[in-house]
């Protein structure tokens, strides 16, 4: 192998390029990025960058010996060659790290998304006291943008089609526990409200109601950045199809015999990997995936047999609270609470102790956990889930029993 090309210069791509060098690869390493920026961290965009606390999130990756080509977009792929807007680029090994692209809404009005550092800086410039901001989507991003905008003094309305915030991630029962956060922050929350289109004046809601806005931010999800791979012969299914080693596979329709095709791996938001733990294919659009998957993918590319099979993990800062979520709850599981989500201010006037909620599999395993202001619950809970531990459910609901104790006593 003489040349490894990494397509995508975000967190996952930058870490993959650095990992190739760290493992002693002596050939060429080329990092190709569509944006004009070196790899940077995205979670702070909707937090510290939007609030003005910081302006630069460039990551300190050691890219010594890596040829970084910025402002260059991949446009197509065939075995051994990446087509780019600057001409073809041959490879002996390929890392796909093209992330995901935000979904936008119908309509001829301006709508903002928050995916890049430039998006965050532009939106920050538009936020000011009294500006009428409408956010479509009460998911993780929507809540974080609402938090920052309300703190600046904007007049914020959040429109959500589901029955609760964070419905897709946490379900209605847990999601409803966050509704009061919006009101206390002075944010208007409209649930079970669908949007028909974006107009120059704001939104038209399903049913015809008009909602006037100076700025509209859309946070209704993303799609994997794989459109440029259409017709390449790589297997695609809501992302680049990869196995538990993060190795991609070519379909029979691709040019060339199987043995003639240089190896391809995928990492981060664009990778749809097979999970041994969950027995199905997953694609997780979280920072932890972009952080951890490159080491496995590069090992695979260089002939190793490492397996990628994490317990998914995510964190968010919203309305003065640290929210962490790990695992994958089954649809039929009902949450078990630790602590009272309804206690905003304790009777003694002190700070609330926070709360957690867990979802249990039929065999008793803790399969997912959300924590609000209880980071130590998450530390022990992640270990418990990684070990497929079975904690005592009644003791789990007793907030006086630490998660560390539960993990130690689990079977």
Report the alpha-carbon distance of residue 211 to residue 149 in Å, rounded.
18
| Secondary element (H or E) of residue 313 | strand 313-318
Report the alpha-carbon distance of residue 362 to residue 30 in Å, rounded.
48
| Secondary element (H or E) of residue 190 | strand 188-190
Q: Find the DSSP H helices in 243-334.
A: 287-301
Quick one: pLDDT at residue 410?
87
Q: Other CB atoms closer than 10 Å to residue 398's CB: what's the count?
A: 12
What digits encode the pLDDT tens for the residues 264-306? 999 999 999 999 999 999 999 999 999 999 999 999 999 999 9
Instruction: Tell me the whole-structure pTM to 2 decimals.
Output: 0.94
Quick one: pLDDT at residue 339?
93
| Secondary element (H or E) of residue 242 | strand 240-242
Report the alpha-carbon distance of residue 137 to residue 79 in Å, rounded.
39
Quick one: pLDDT at residue 332?
83
Q: Other CB atoms closer than 10 Å to residue 119's CB: what's the count?
A: 18
Q: Find the DSSP H helices in 93-228.
A: 117-126, 140-152, 167-175, 179-184
Question: In the chain, how many H helices and how many E strands?
Answer: 10, 25
Partners of 242 in beta bridges: 248, 273
Quick one: pLDDT at residue 259?
57
Quick one: pLDDT at residue 344?
57
- The burial class, CB within 10 Å (0-12 / 13-18 / 19+), for 143 is buried
Domains recognised in the chain with CATH numbers = 3-100+223-301 (3.50.50.60), 104-218 (3.50.50.60), 320-409 (3.30.390.30)
Q: Which two tokens stand for residue 272?
A: 């749809």
What digits encode the pLDDT tens for the residues 147-159? 999 999 999 999 9
All residue ranges of the chain with pLDDT < 50 are 256
Q: Which two tokens stand for residue 215?
A: 């700025």
How far is the CA of 125 from the CAs of 109, 110, 113, 114, 245, in angstroms?
Answer: 19, 15, 14, 13, 43
Residue by residue, DSSP assigns 142-167 as HHHHHHHHHHHT-EEEEE-SSSSTTH
Reference 118, options 220, 40, 59; nearest CA is 40
Judging by DSSP bridges, how do beta strands 155-159 and 222-224 pair with one another?
unpaired
């Amino acid at each position: 192998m003489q040349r490894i090309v990494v397509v995508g210069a975000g967190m996952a791509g930058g870490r993959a390029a650095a990992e190739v060098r760290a493992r002693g690869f002596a050939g060429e390493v080329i990092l190709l990025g569509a944006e004009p920026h070196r790899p940077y961290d995205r979670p702070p965009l909707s937090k510290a960058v939007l609030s003005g606390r910081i302006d630069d999130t460039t990551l300190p990756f050691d890219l010594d010996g890596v040829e970084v080509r910025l402002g260059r977009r991949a446009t197509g792929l065939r075995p051994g060659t990446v087509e780019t807007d600057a001409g073809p680029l041959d490879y002996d090994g390929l890392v796909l790290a093209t992330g995901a692209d935000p979904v936008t809404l119908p309509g001829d009005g301006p709508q903002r998304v928050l995916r890049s550092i430039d998006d965050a800086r532009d939106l920050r410039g538009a936020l000011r006291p009294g500006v009428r901001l409408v956010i479509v989507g009460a998911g993780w991003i929507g809540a974080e943008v609402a938090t920052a905008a309300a703190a600046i003094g904007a007049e914020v309305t959040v429109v959500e089609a589901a029955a609760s915030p964070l419905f897709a991630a946490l379900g209605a029962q847990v999601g409803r526990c966050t509704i009061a956060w919006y009101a206390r922050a002075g944010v208007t929350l409209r649930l079970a409200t669908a949007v028909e289109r974006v107009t120059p004046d704001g939104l038209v809601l399903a049913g015809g109601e008009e909602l006037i806005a100076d700025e509209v931010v859309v946070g209704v999800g993303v799609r994997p950045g794989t459109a440029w791979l259409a017709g390449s012969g790589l297997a695609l299914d809501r992302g680049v199809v990869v196995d538990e080693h993060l190795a991609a596979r070519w379909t029979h329709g691709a040019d060339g015999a199987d043995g003639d095709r240089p190896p391809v791996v995928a990492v981060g938001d664009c990778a749809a990997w097979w999970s041994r733990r969950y027995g199905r294919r997953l694609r997780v659009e979280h920072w932890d995936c972009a952080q951890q998957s490159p080491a496995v993918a590069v090992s695979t590319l260089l002939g190793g047999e490492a397996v990628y099979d994490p317990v998914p993990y995510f964190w968010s800062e919203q309305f003065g609270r640290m929210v962490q979520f790990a695992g994958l709850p089954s649809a039929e599981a009902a949450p078990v609470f630790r602590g009272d989500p309804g206690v905003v201010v304790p009777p003694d006037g002190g700070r609330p102790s926070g709360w957690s909620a867990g979802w249990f599999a039929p065999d008793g395993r803790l399969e997912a956990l959300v924590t609000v202001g209880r980071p130590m619950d998450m530390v022990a809970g992640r270990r418990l889930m990684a070990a497929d531990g079975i904690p005592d459910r009644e003791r789990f609901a007793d907030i006086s029993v630490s998660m560390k104790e539960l993990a130690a006593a689990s079977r």
